[in-house]
Structure 1
Amino acid sequence: MTLKHLPPTFCWTKIGHESGEALPTTVLRKEWERRLGGGRFLWGIGQPLGNSAQIAAHRTGSLIALFSPASSKARQPERKTEDVLLWNAWIDASGQVRQLPPHTFITSRATLPSGRRREHYYALVCASPTELSIGTRLRVYPDHLRSVSTGKVLGAAQSAAVVDCVGRETEQTGRSYPLALSVELEAPYFVRLTQPSVLKARDLAKITKATRDGDLDTFVEQVTRLRSQPAAAEQARGFTRDLFDMSPVESAAPFGHAAPAHAHANHAW
């Protein structure tokens, strides 16, 4: 999706804090997941969006996610290699645990910046009918954004938030971030992840190498193998369908006030 200007309301995500990998590598991996998911894919985020995504989508009829590279450098490895978690399931609004699609590869650090063990992670429900691509001249100015849920300026530590743009785009000043990627979000817009398993360093290295080499077959083989291993955190409760088997309207139903996802807007792709 190529935008000519910033939308008045959008979900803004700063990427790079968790993975530390190069942006083109991340986007290629997500492009593969998009193809395997029939146009849908999940993007891991460290913070929940609350009800702001539903509010914004109901107000505007659709919701776009904009991604910017984080300005700070990735956290340097500590003397002891930090564990990485692979997330295997998501929790719907009724509390049911559902398995993520088998091609989905979402990882995070095992510990929070505070040092506590990470219990949950989150993911944006993204969609694009065309290939993901990097590159735009647009920039995001945080000083001119206001949280949809609070009406306040974003905190420095916020890596994902649904925001309103205030002021004219030509008058925006201050610190800015480049806009690297934009996609549609579909209901339920974001999900809470669960059932993490510790990802071995050698397995992560294989996935990273396959992506850097552009080797889709090896990527699929490795991800399928890792995702087929039982997660130790908790067992899924009952039989549930895969996230990507659900229509946007059906997946939004538990939220009640959320508007049904509209067809893809006629943006310049």
Structure 2
Amino acid sequence: MYFSIMKSKPKLVDSAPSSVVVWRRYVDLHGAEKPLPPFALITSRGNSGSGSQKTKHFALVCRSDQELKLENGHAFDHHMYRNAGAKGGQVGASQVTALLTRDPSVAAGIAQYEINLRAKLTGSYWVRLTDPLPLSESQISLYNCAAAPSAVDWIEFVSDLRQRTSTRAEVGAQLGLF
């Protein structure tokens, strides 16, 4: 799985959302709803495009044996790829997430993007998130200013943002999830 820094500025609704939620649970590939692992912090804007409160969201499930760092990477020519699926449309300029397939009929051109981060898809590759909790202004400020804490401090920070809804038994059971 390759990640690339967006070329365009994010939309105002994404960079300054009117509300932010933290996601607490997910639905696995068998349809069972489970708590997110204690180390996983997933946030999003709290409103959908139509302005209604978000009740679901999706996340890619990835892993890396190395520390994740944004770096200058290899060139990536997005014209050589198409969106996976029946229509196979071109990669859009404002697409945030895409599952792509290589189009062998397109010759390499001038790459406009680069691969800035790599991870491996794992598990079911993606999950549907559920159980959003709106964050207060003070929680959002804390989240925006969070430094790189120790693993124990990180899990406590995530737990605080989720308002300690998981029991210690659930936390222990989830450590091996991903």
Contact 1:207 1:223 in 2 (8 A): no
User: In structure 2, which of residues 43, 48, 64 is the aligned counterpart of residue 128 of structure 1?
Assistant: 64
CA displacement 1:55-100 (0-9 Å, x = unmatched):
xxxxxxxxxx11111222233379x961101000001233221000
1:93-108 to structure 2, matched below 5 A, reads 93-108=29-44
Contact 2:82 2:91 in 1 (8 A): yes
For 2:28, the aligned partner's letter is: D
In the alignment, the residues of structure 1 paired with residue 177 and residue 13 of structure 2 have an alpha-carbon distance, to the nearest angstrom, of 39
In the alignment, the residues of structure 2 paired with residue 226 and residue 186 of structure 1 have an alpha-carbon distance, to the nearest angstrom, of 26
Contact 1:99 1:242 in 2 (8 A): no
Contact 1:89 1:100 in 2 (8 A): yes
Partner of 1:245: 176
Q: Is 2:147 the partner of 1:196? A: no
Change (3 A) 1:94 1:202: same
SS in structure 2 at match of 1:72 = coil
CA displacement 1:224-261 (0-9 Å, x = unmatched):
22224349xxxxxxx9x9565358xxxxxxxxxxxxxx
Percent identity of equivalent pairs: 26
In the superposition, the TM-score normalised over structure 1's length comes to 0.54
Partner of 2:156: 221
Number of residue pairs matched by the alignment: 171
Q: Is 2:90 the partner of 1:159? A: no
Partner of 2:119: 183
Name whichever structure is richer in helix by fraction. Answer: 1
Root mean square deviation, CA, Å: 3.1
SS in structure 1 at match of 2:34 = strand
Change (3 A) 1:77 1:193: closer
For 2:108, the aligned partner's letter is: E
CA displacement 1:76-134 (0-9 Å, x = unmatched):
379x9611010000012332210001221100001123333322111111111122222
Flag structure 2 segments of 5+ consecutive residues without an equivalent.
none
In the alignment, the residues of structure 2 paired with residue 118 and residue 202 of structure 1 have an alpha-carbon distance, to the nearest angstrom, of 21
In the alignment, the residues of structure 2 paired with residue 158 and residue 75 of structure 1 have an alpha-carbon distance, to the nearest angstrom, of 12
Contact 2:4 2:115 in 1 (8 A): yes
SS in structure 2 at match of 1:124 = strand
In the alignment, the residues of structure 2 paired with residue 193 and residue 166 of structure 1 have an alpha-carbon distance, to the nearest angstrom, of 31
Contact 2:133 2:162 in 1 (8 A): no
In the superposition, the TM-score normalised over structure 2's length comes to 0.78
CA displacement 1:201-234 (0-9 Å, x = unmatched):
21122132222xx333654432122224349xxx
SS in structure 1 at match of 2:98 = strand
Partner of 1:86: 22
User: In structure 1, which of residues 133, 138, 157 is the aligned counterpart of residue 74 of structure 2?
Assistant: 138
